[in-house]
């Protein structure tokens, strides 16, 4: 595998993990978004990654698709809320903060690992260029 292939594969990992981080951050930011009971709740964003040319050492990874959580959400009794229905219920998204924090930590670690590969490949490439100057 050449250094350029390593950079390309790591770049695809960086992009995928960044999109995963964005989705988790969006979910956390909207965890307390309230809707009326006749509306859909905020839907959790999920990123599905897929290997590209798995086993060849040349492919990397990409976001295959985005999936969305349950629009039904969860009903919460808050009769004083301005969006409450006649029975006093509002709708919150069905998002678990613990799960989202776990997703965020995993995506962050993956991002950091791919960034380390890019830095090492860049350093190796720069060192190879210095050899030619001597």
pLDDT tens per residue, range 20-62? 999 999 999 999 999 999 999 999 999 999 988 887 767 888 9
Helix (H, G, I), strand (E, B) or coil at 123: helix
Average pLDDT, the chain: 91
Instruction: For the chain, give the percent of residues with pLDDT over 90.
Output: 69
**Cβ atoms < 10 Å from Cβ of 53:** 10
Domain count along the chain = 1
- The domain in which residue 112 lies consists of 3-133
Per-residue pLDDT at 127:
85
CA atoms of 35 and 84, how far apart (whole Å): 9
CA atoms of 23 and 121, how far apart (whole Å): 28
CA atoms of 5 and 58, how far apart (whole Å): 6
Helix (H, G, I), strand (E, B) or coil at 32: coil
Query: Sign of the C-alpha dihedral, residues 129, 13, 100, 39?
Result: positive
């Amino acid at each position: 595998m050449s250094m350029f292939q390593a950079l390309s594969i790591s770049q695809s990992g960086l992009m995928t993990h960044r999109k995963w981080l964005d989705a988790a951050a969006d979910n956390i930011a909207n965890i307390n978004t309230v809707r009326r009971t006749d509306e859909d709740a905020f839907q959790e964003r999920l990123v599905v990654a897929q290997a590209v040319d798995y086993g060849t050492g040349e492919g990397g990874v990409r976001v295959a698709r985005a999936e969305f959580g349950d629009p039904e959400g969860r009903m919460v009794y808050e009769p004083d809320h301005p969006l409450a229905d006649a029975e006093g219920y509002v709708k919150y998204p069905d998002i678990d903060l613990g799960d989202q924090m776990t997703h965020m930590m995993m995506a962050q670690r993956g991002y950091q690992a791919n960034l380390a590969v890019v830095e090492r490949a860049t350093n190796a490439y720069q060192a190879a260029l210095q050899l030619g100057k001597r």
